[in-house]
Amino acid sequence: MVLLEMSIVPMGCGESVSQYVAQCVDLIDQSGLAYEVHSMGTIVEGELDEVLGLMQRCIEKLAENADRVTCSAKLDFRRGAGGRLTAKVDSVEQKLGRPVRR
């Protein structure tokens, strides 16, 4: 399983890009993969080919409205481990003995 954190931004579309982020989040939601949106990007959990294909679809979606799209991505591949989207934070909370902000 893979955790993919991505931030995809269309260039030349103005200062606020939340309408474009919403288009990507819609694609991510439709994928059926587990995900979390945060203020600086989105984390998706799935098989490597699934998350990379999803990232490509998001980039192509934004390219419909922009001649240039930037993407920052970080992958965490771990053989056989699933449910890490929440398990990693749960583990930190356990060690702290208290919840953290999510």
DSSP 66-79: -SEEEEEEEEEE-T
Average pLDDT of the chain is 93
Kindly indicate the confidence band of residue 94, based on its pLDDT and cuts at 50, 70 and 90.
very high
CATH of domain 2-96: 3.30.70.930
Integer Cα distance of 55 and 41 in angstroms: 12
Kindly indicate the confidence band of residue 64, based on its pLDDT and cuts at 50, 70 and 90.
very high
Residue type, 6: M
- List pLDDT tens digits, range 9-35: 999 988 899 999 999 999 999 999 999
pLDDT at 101: 84
